[in-house]
Amino acid sequence: MTDTLEEDQIYEAVREHYAGRASQAAASPECCGPAGDCCSPNYSDMTLVSLPATVTGLSLGCGDPVSQADIREGDTVLDLGSGGGIDCFLAAKRAGPSGRVIGVDMTGEMLEKARANAGKLNAVNVEFREGRIEALPVDDASVDVLISNCVINLSPDKPTVFREIYRVLKPGGRVSVSDMVIRGAVPSEMKGDLSAWAACLAGAIDVREYVQGLEEAGLVEVEARPRDALHGVLASIPFGTPFSALISAKKPM
């Protein structure tokens, strides 16, 4: 899957990249993926109006999975690769005081930022846990809604991630993910480039493979569509083009 790279090399390159981003304390958000696609604004100004720059400045995603998610009052929400916490804090607004949001991230520097942000916002229903998305520190069948923003593409072992998603969801649990995918295959030389992995490009898989992987893990009603309405339907996207997709699914009852 990763050609000449070992999985541990990829994990370390990704961790170092995002540790560096956390330490920069950005004043404005960046993104993953190619310019002109996921680098367009992910959130409306009204969505972010109550969040400080220490949160919005660490928005590194490729979409807005929270707005697409069916988050209800009292839900338990899990964010894979929570970074500085922006999607966790947005989800907490929807889940309400009776709900709970858990962010999981493998980068200690990001977790430190996220926990500090939670303190600033008095987000008592949000917690952050250290871990990899291939081995989530979350109980079986404990999550109502799972979200993720441009993170699953970073994993060199996506089938395990998909199985973990199925494991932690309650029966009837929902999935709302923004991620980088591709029509066709990433060039083999890019798969061997650690910087391309950190940039959310080398780890992108064919959108059909993504859907199939979720289905093989046991999820149903799996759908994927381009985030950018200008792309129209999937069939209009040229082969070999990476793009940001919104992906939804459910765990059967």
DSSP per residue over 150-193, as a string? S-GGG-S-HHHHHHHHHHHEEEEEEEEEEEEEESS---HHHHT-
Residue 230 has pLDDT above 60, yes or no: no
Helix (H), strand (E) at residue 121 = helix 108-121
Please report which confidence band the pLDDT of residue 212 belongs to, taking 50, 70 and 90 as the band edges: very high
Q: Residue 236's domain is classified under what CATH number?
A: 3.40.50.150
Count Cα atoms within 13 angstroms, Cβ side, for 178: 26
- The answer to whether position 2 is within a domain reads no
- The answer to whether position 107 is within a domain reads yes
pTM: 0.89
Q: What is the pLDDT of residue 61?
A: 84
- The answer to whether position 105 is within a domain reads yes
Residue 38 has pLDDT above 50, yes or no: no
Mean pLDDT over the full length of the chain? 87
- The answer to whether position 120 is within a domain reads yes
Q: What total number of domains does the chain contain?
A: 1
Q: Scanning the structure block, which residue is given the tokens 């000449």?
A: 4
pLDDT tens digits, residue range 83-100? 999 999 999 999 999 999
Mean pLDDT of 105-131: 95
Residue 164 has pLDDT above 50, yes or no: yes
β-bridge pairing 169-182 and 242-250: antiparallel
Q: What is the DSSP letter of 206?
A: B
The CA distance from 129 to 93, in Å, is 20
- The answer to whether position 233 is within a domain reads yes
- The answer to whether position 85 is within a domain reads yes
The CA distance from 247 to 149, in Å, is 10
The tokens describing 188, both together, are 């083999």
Q: What is the pLDDT of residue 77?
A: 98
Separation in Å, CA 16 to CA 21, 100, 107: 9, 29, 8
The CA distance from 22 to 81, in Å, is 13
Contact 80, 118 (CB under 8 A): no
> What residue numbers bound the domain in which 233 lies?
7-250
Buried b or exposed e, range 58-90, using 16+ CB within 10 angstroms: bbbbbbbbbbbbebeeebbbbbbbbbbbbbbbb
Residue 44 has pLDDT above 60, yes or no: yes
Residue 153 has pLDDT above 90, yes or no: yes
The CA distance from 104 to 35, in Å, is 27
- The answer to whether position 1 is within a domain reads no
- The answer to whether position 35 is within a domain reads yes
pLDDT, greater one: 24 or 232 = 24
Query: For residue 198, which of 244, 154, 142, 230 has the smallest C-alpha distance?
Result: 154
